[in-house]
Structure 1
Amino acid sequence: MDWKKGLLIVPLSFSLLIPTAGAFASDHDEQMDKPTVETPGADLRADLGHLLSEHAYLAVETMRKGAEGSADFEASAGALSENTEDLTAAITSVYGEEAGAEFNEIWSNHIGFFVDYVKATGNEDEDAKQKALDSLDGYKEDFSNFLENATGERLQAHINQLIGSFDSYVAGDYEMAYEKEREAIAHMQMVAKGFSGAITDQFPDKFENTKAVTPASDLRATLGHLLSEHAGLAMMTMQNGIDGSEDFDASAAALSENTDDLAAAITSVYGEEAGNQFKEMWSGHIGNFVEYVQATGAEDEAAQEKALKALEDYRADFSSFLETATEGRLEAGPLSEGLQMHVNQLISAFDSYTTEDYDAAYDSVREAYAHMYKPAKGLSGAFVNQFPDKFAMEAMPTDMPKTGMGGTAEQQMPIEWIVAAILATMAATGVIVRRKMQKS
């Protein structure tokens, strides 16, 4: 087979590379006439969303570390390289060494050009900066030819977002820097949506005639995006906190905005009262992490233990909240175990960072980012099972059912409408609307 002509065939074995991808339900065939988040097409979209958005996240952070001359720059760059290897392995597993090697070379080169831009910025060398930008323009053409279906506009947007975030950071405009970072992460989720939709349309037999883009998979992708972004932003905010970095407030504000977006998703399904309850608990657990950071800085082990105990209490409360909201479709016990894993990953990443074991820190960062696609799959599956009519392909929903979670759910906008509106706004304005961080 000419691998270039068939380049868009993404391997079904792709999910084996990603620890977050789940197995198909035993009654998969029976579920095909019902909306579901568990299909080969939806898995493909989630896998691509995970690795592509993680690339954007790690690229932004690595560029910042380079600008700062941070001790963890090499470890951050190593994590970015590992992300490239995961993407390369997916190509190689289907198209062989030649295709994998070509992909790896082009993808690695464009990361190198960003590094060149960082170095040129540090040296205040405008000619070298322009050379790096010209090289990125050449990459855009090469990679578009490699994929054959990729548009230059998509790739240019990616370049603009990363360069824009870095330039804003160097200029001390930290709010804009994090705005652009969130924009870059969201953009790659949109790229994953477009690519996975084209792939499943072009090769339906490879994906059991399932679609990557459905109302149900939209929900799964949205939760995967926001939950993984939460993990990434939380880790960087904790690092900024212990370092006393000037951009701490901006990173904390970005994390708060992510919480607002998650709360809006819950509100759209279960109503305002449930959304407010979610936001209170979710914000509380972020506060517990902040308390752990403060206690670490003060070398107060008792305060550290107190923060960890508060996180343990949060796990129990939040698991019960979700079990009630989904009417038992999600069980509190397994939920609590998953939440403990999230807590362990962030605490481990932070502790490793403070002890200067940077390789271990970024291993935990990647684990935390990937892990959040598991609850995204579970939550979206429960929501879709609970409200199947609202995620049917043939019609858009007109209202939401009452759930007993506040009595106002039927007045809320469905999640897919909210997502469509957010994406449309981003496309029109090129930015994510920022909200002020709530003051306690």
Structure 2
Amino acid sequence: MSRQAWCRRTLAVLVVVLTGLVAGHAAVARGGRFPTVAAPATPGDAAVALQAALGYHSVLAADMMRSRIRGDEELARAAENAVGRNTDVMRQLVGALLGADRAEQFRLLWTAHVTALANYSRGVADEDNGARDAARSALSTFEGDLAGFLAAGSQGRLPRDAAAAAAYLHVDHLMQQADAYAAGDYARADQIYREGYAHTFELGETIANALIGPAAVKALRAPAWRLRSQLTRLLGEHVVLVVAATRAGATNGPDFAAAGEAVNANTRDLAGAVDTLFGAAAAQRFQSLWADHVEQVMAYTGGVAAGDATRREAAIEALGGFEKQFAAFLSSATGGRLPVADLARTLVMHDQMLLAQVDSFAAKQYEQAQDSAYSTYGHMGDVAGQLAGAFTGTLGDRAPKGGSQTGYGGTAGHHG
């Protein structure tokens, strides 16, 4: 059996169960079933879960809006369903922190927000100024309502004005990227796409700080948690940007070049984080290996788009080489705290999941593609937690303690 066939068979029964509430602590299976969320095991788990779920909401909402603008109605419906599943993840997280009544209040509020975003994108697609203005008005109402909800839920620890400003920026990012996408300014659209993801991801920490209470907030100050949070953001962004690029490539979309540059920018940011942790030589090695990984995923996508089985199999073979080399690299960097065999299996799963969503998307099995993408995102959140633990153990007192803007200390975002 070829590796491609084995990948498809495995993914048919795969349910990714995230440990420690990473990426929403959701078990997302094919078929669009709603995930379930356990009570947060620790304050740190709850915070990372909120970050990951909010970050993914931004991506899913932007994808939904872009599908409407392109007129891809079937894909838009699948995207809307995925947004709904993500909303349910957040509802359950809110319920775990604030109780069932507050969770239902949040669901209604958030669903109205998603509806207004969908209406805005329809107005953009139809060049209907009245529809856009009505959607803007609804979104403005949402901003105030969400601010009030968060201020009340946090017992004033998150001031209403600060919450309203954060909600406004989230909405503004989504509307701006939709406008730029409709105008064919794909580079700007993808720049705002990334900014929106980063903003909502970091907003998760702000909300968690307010909701979990001052006695538990100190857990979010620990270097190990901050590294886990940053790696979850960067590796999660890798998934969403690669998924976007493969979909543009599979359809020969006009936004393919911009999507590819967004992936490259994320790779540079990841290399910058490695520079912060392990130095320039390790960062250069990481960037070379990671770029090869991305290149082969895109080569596989090209083979799928062209119906070229030889190109697909060549890409799969090359990914096998990457998985072994990258596992050896990380194991060496952590002094053997990450065993090579375990790492290789993790990387095989990551690649299989990415390729499976390419196959589903190319076959226009959009619900299946969305579920595969969601599972891949969640899996990388789990991986980020494992890496953060090993990196912290390796670095000890040398673990970075700075702010998220620089990868929690050092040169992140500037390497290469």
Q: Among 141, 149, 163, which residue is 2:175 paired with?
A: 163
Q: TM-score, normalised by structure 2?
A: 0.84
Supply the distance in 1 between the matched residues of 2:244 and 2:364 (Cα, whole angstroms).
Answer: 15
Contact 1:65 1:72 in 2 (8 A): yes
Matches within 5 A, 1:321-332: 321-332=329-340
Select the residue among 175, 183, 201 that pairs with 2:195. 183
TM-score (norm 1): 0.80
Q: In 2, Cα distance between the equivalents of 1:14 and 1:233?
A: 23
Q: Give yes or no for contact 2:246–2:358 (8 Å, CA) kept in 1.
A: yes
Give, in angstroms, the shift of residue 92 of structure 1.
3.4
Cα distance 1:169–1:193, how it changes in 2: closer, same or farther (>3 A)? same
Task: Report whether the alignment pairs 1:147 with 2:147.
Answer: no
SS at match of 1:317: helix
Q: What's the CA shift string for 1:137-157, capped at 9, x where partnerless?
A: 111111111111352110001
> Match for 2:328: what amino acid?
S
Unaligned runs of 5+ residues in structure 1 are: 1-11, 21-37, 398-412, 423-432
What is residue 56 of structure 1 aligned with on the other side? 58
Cα distance in structure 1, aligned partners of 2:90 and 2:298: 33
Alignment of 1:44-193 (within 5 A): 44-70=46-72, 71-93=74-96, 95-148=98-151, 149=158, 150=160, 151-193=163-205
Q: Give the structure 2 partner of residue 227 of structure 1.
A: 235
1:277 aligns with 2:285: yes
Q: Is the 8 A contact 1:315 1:340 kept in 2?
A: yes
The answer as to 2:25 corresponding to 1:18 is yes
For residues 50 and 257 of structure 2, what CA distance do their matches in structure 1 show? 31
Q: Deviations over 1:387-416 (max 9, x none)?
A: 2212487xx79xxxxxxxxxxxxxxx9842
Counterparts of 1:193 and 1:283 in 2: how far apart (Å)?
A: 30
Corresponding pairs, count = 375
Give the conservation status (yes or no) of the 8 Å contact 1:342–1:371.
yes
Give the whole-Å Cα distance in 1 for the aligned partners of 2:247 and 2:168: 30
Please report how far the alpha carbon of residue 98 of structure 1 lies from its aligned counterpart in structure 2 after TM superposition: 2.9
Change (3 A) 1:76 1:392: closer
| Conservation of the 8 A alpha-carbon contact between 2:21 and 2:45 | no
By how many angstroms is 1:95 displaced?
Answer: 4.7
CA distance in 2, matches of 1:418, 1:186: 19
SS at match of 2:221: coil
2:349, 2:48 → 1: CA distance? 20
**Which letter does structure 2 place at the counterpart of 1:114?**
L
Pairwise CA distance, 1:13: 9.4
Return the alpha-carbon distance in structure 2 between the equivalents of residues 93 and 379 of structure 1. 26
Q: Which amino acid aligns with 1:353?
A: F
Judging changes above 3 Å, is the alpha-carbon distance between structure 1 residues 414 and 190 closer, same or farther for their aligned structure 2 residues?
Answer: closer
Question: What is the rounded CA distance, in whole Å, between the counterparts of 1:295 and 1:340 in structure 2?
Answer: 19
Deviations 1:280-332 (A, max 9, x none): 00000111011111111221112211110111111000000000011111111
Distance change >3 Å, CA 367–CA 264, structure 1 → 2: same
Q: 1:304: which partner in 2?
A: 312
The answer for the alignment partner of 1:381 in structure 2 is 389
User: Any idea what the Cα deviations from partners look like across 1:55-99, whole Å, max 9, x if unmatched?
Assistant: 001111110011111131111111111000111122334655432
Q: Structure 2 CA distance, aligned partners of 1:127 and 1:392? A: 50
Q: CA deviation at 1:418?
A: 3.8
Q: Shift in Å at residue 179 of structure 1?
A: 0.4
Gapped regions of structure 2 (runs ≥ 5) = 1-18, 28-39, 152-157
**Structure 1 stretch displaced more, 86-95 or 156-165:** 86-95
- In structure 1, C-alpha distance between the alignment counterparts of 2:400 and 2:252, rounded to whole Å: 49
Give the structure with higher Rg (CA).
1
Letter matched to residue 336 of structure 2: G
Secondary structure of the structure 2 residue equivalent to 1:417: coil
Q: Aligned in 2, Cα 1:16/1:75: closer, same or farther, shift over 3 Å?
A: closer
Q: CA-atom RMSD, angstroms?
A: 2.6
Shift of 1:101: 2.1
Q: Does residue 41 in structure 1 map to residue 43 in structure 2? A: yes
- 2:242 & 2:167 partners in 1: Cα distance? 27
Amino acid at match of 1:302: T
Matched-pair contact (CA < 8 Å) for 1:197–1:213: no
CA deviation map 1:404-434 (0-9, x unaligned)? xxxxxxxxx9842248x87xxxxxxxxxx9x
Q: Percent identity?
A: 27
Specify which of 343, 349, 355 is matched with residue 341 of structure 1.
349
Equivalent in the alignment of 1:290: 298
CA-to-aligned-CA distance 1:108-166 (integer Å, 9 cap, x gap):
00111111111111221212211111111111111111111352110001011111111
Alignment partners' CA distance in 2, 1:242 and 1:50: 27
Does structure 1 retain, via aligned residues, the 8 Å contact 2:24–2:53?
no
Question: Residues of 2 paired with 1:159 and 1:19: CA distance?
Answer: 25
Three-state SS of the structure 2 residue aligned to 1:330 is coil
Tell me: CA distance 1:178–1:245, structure 2 relative to 1, closer, same or farther (3 Å): same
For structure 1, which segment, 292-301 or 304-313, has the greater mean C-alpha deviation from structure 2 after superposition? Answer: 292-301
Amino acid at match of 1:40: T
The separation in 1 between residues aligned to 2:230 and 2:284, in whole angstroms, is 19
Shift of 1:174: 0.6
Alpha-carbon distance change, 392 to 372 in structure 1, aligned in 2, over 3 angstroms: closer
CA distance, structure 2, for counterparts of residue 220 and residue 264 of structure 1: 15
Corresponding residue of 2:225:
217
Cα separation, 2, equivalents of 1:273 and 1:370: 30
1:254 corresponds to 2:254: no
